Amino acid sequence: MNSFKIRLFFLLLMLSIAAPLTLFRFGKRSIFGKINTMNDVDTIIIGSGAGGLSAALCLARAGQKVAVIEQHYVPGGWCHSFYIDGHRFSPGVHYIGLMDKGESTSNLYEGLGIANDLVFFRMNAKAYEHCRIGDERIDMPANVDELYKSLAERFPKEKNGLKKYLQLIRNVSEQLYLIPKMSGFWDNITIPYRTRHLGKYALFSLKRVVGWHIKDPLLQKVLNIQCGDHGLPPSKASFPLHCALMAHYFQGGFYPMGGGAAIVKAMTKGIKKYGGVIRTGQGVKRILVEKKEGEKKLNAIGVELENGEILKAKRIISNTDPTATFKMVGTENLSQKLQAKLAKTRYSVTSLMFFLTVDMDVRKAGLDSGNIWMMPDRDMDDLHEDLAEVDILATDEFSGMFISCSSLKDPSSYNGRHHTIEVVTFIDYDSFKAKLNNNDKDSEAYKNLKDRLCQKLVNTLEKVVPGISNNILQIQLGTPLTNEHYIKSTKGNVYGTEKGFYQTGPFSFTAKTEIENLYMCGASIMAHGVAGAAYSGIKTAALILNCKEDDLIKPDASQSVRIYDAENNTHWPEWLHQKMADKKRRAELESKAISKVM
């Protein structure tokens, strides 16, 4: 490429990913509203993940009549929560960054008008990430200056390179934020200088850039540990993508009181406040399209539900991934170009998710509100390749895991005795499916496979939480089949499309599709994660309303997210202390009642 083409390519790439990169389960059907005719609805949103709900909220506030259709019995997609024996679990929300006043995620919730309904806990500021790499134990504190100080002390020979690298991360992420705000002649003239760091490193992988600055293999692994948040190994991860992710957590991690469902509840409350409708327990069978007389393009005109009901609307937004979306449109209605693109589309990793309730003092066992990333001291690219090559049942322990104690992240959920733990490990979809003869989730083979995997988890957890195997009250496992069933994600993916270089920027799927009046939102068109998906919904809504994204999330002085320290209750309000006391009291009464019966 010549210099002009490189700059143009880079600009298109960054414009498409800049804004968002700042970054289950059992029950009955519920209906929150009813719609029947074309005149009732302006926009139908298929799927109620963070992207679909933020789009619905923005459109409803703008005066549109919107209807959200969700096939699960509760709204939320990956953000929903579910209960097992009275204990709450949130499969897709483990931590969120940039929640302090004035930071982008806080601004997002304020601009959507839901901040007053949200409470977040600040995770362990001294170590919101615990890295367990082989026999090494290294903590990542909140605040980039504290991170540098901590790592420089541990790796003194890398002090200079580390300082330059962290500053580069900060520069690139800030320049990502800057690009969508530029407009006018002077901004266009100064773009090359004001985004010089982004321009220099935009076309390189994470592995190459970190290798230029950091030589110690262990420090490289620590700095790359958050690759688990996008699911790509360093050699395949775009450096700007990883910069944005790291910067998203530079000030630490935050967890919503009430789990992911609290965010969903705040959004659905806002949607209904402005007249929007949410229908759950109803899947969409197909997206209805027609070609109007004299027009070349097909037009989306409504949806057919799985029960046969027809719903018409002026436009449709799909909050499902591209393959699932265009499957509902029908291959016969797609251009050859789009069919070819779909055939080549790669999806992010899939996972095993374990949900445990334990009766033990997990703090004494070494847990706190920080995440634990556990992996062997091996090349991260080799570990990624092993997902497809190594038999999942070949060993008695998992090599890598993400461990989160949600009852410590959200102290209000702790009943004084039982803790809840969520564990995630990535696997290869095809290798997992090869273990089963069919997709029957009720088959004996599937049950036996889950039992063996749960035992493998317990064996691994014993190394992190000694004694846990004797104190597990219940353990349930979500597999790629679970993801397909409840989330409708292609190949059980957890982050939408794979965010490799050729599936971001100008090569990614966009909010506007080739079908007139059919739009998309969600992790596959911009960025993954709670904040990234929510921003995608705002982008799609702005496109429909023909306005800027900032117009839909303007600052609101009356809105403010409340934040408390998960590790220190000194500044907790009285209502929070009372909430916890009431929960413990109810748990004690239930325990006494059970004891009397037994």
212: left (phi over 0), alpha (psi -120 to 50) or beta: alpha
pLDDT given for residue 504 in this prediction: 80
- Residue with more model confidence, 2 or 239: 239
Confidence of residue 598 (pLDDT cuts 50, 70, 90): low
pLDDT given for residue 442 in this prediction: 74
pLDDT given for residue 181 in this prediction: 64
Confidence of residue 272 (pLDDT cuts 50, 70, 90): very high
CA 405 to CA 361: how far, in whole Å?
A: 12
pLDDT given for residue 174 in this prediction: 82
Task: Say which DSSP state 357 is in.
Answer: E
Residue 7 has pLDDT above 60, yes or no: no
Confidence of residue 40 (pLDDT cuts 50, 70, 90): confident
Mean per-residue pLDDT, 281-287: 96
Each domain of the chain, given as residue ranges in start order, spans 30-83+260-346+496-552, 568-597
Cβ-contact 308, 63 below 8 angstroms: no
Residue 34 has pLDDT above 60, yes or no: no
Residue 190 has pLDDT above 70, yes or no: no
Structure-token pair, residue 579:
């909430």
CA 151 to CA 9: how far, in whole Å?
A: 35
- Assign 79 to helix, strand or coil: helix
Residue 273 has pLDDT above 60, yes or no: yes
pLDDT, tens digit (0-9, with 9 covering 90-100), for 471-489: 999 999 999 999 999 999 9
pLDDT, tens digit (0-9, with 9 covering 90-100), for 108-117: 999 999 999 9
Confidence of residue 18 (pLDDT cuts 50, 70, 90): very low
Burial of 413 (0-12, 13-18, 19+ CB in 10 A): buried
Give kind and range of the element (H or E) at residue 537. helix 529-545
pTM for the full predicted model: 0.91
* Strand 66-70, strand 277-280: pairing: parallel
Please report how many Cα atoms fall inside a 13 Å half-sphere around the Cα of residue 36, on the Cβ side.
0
pLDDT given for residue 9 in this prediction: 44
Outline where 424-528 has alpha helix (H): 429-433, 444-464, 480-487
Q: Which CATH class is domain 30-83+260-346+496-552?
A: alpha beta
Confidence of residue 492 (pLDDT cuts 50, 70, 90): very high
pLDDT given for residue 389 in this prediction: 86
Residue 417 has pLDDT above 80, yes or no: yes
CA 479 to CA 484: how far, in whole Å?
A: 9
pLDDT, tens digit (0-9, with 9 covering 90-100), for 199-230: 788 889 999 999 999 999 999 999 999 999 99
The percentage of residues in the chain with a pLDDT greater than 70, rounded to a whole number, is 89
pLDDT given for residue 39 in this prediction: 52
Mean per-residue pLDDT, 182-190: 61
pLDDT given for residue 388 in this prediction: 85
pLDDT, tens digit (0-9, with 9 covering 90-100), for 518-549: 999 999 998 889 999 999 999 999 999 999 99
pLDDT, tens digit (0-9, with 9 covering 90-100), for 436-472: 876 667 788 899 999 999 999 999 999 999 999 999 9
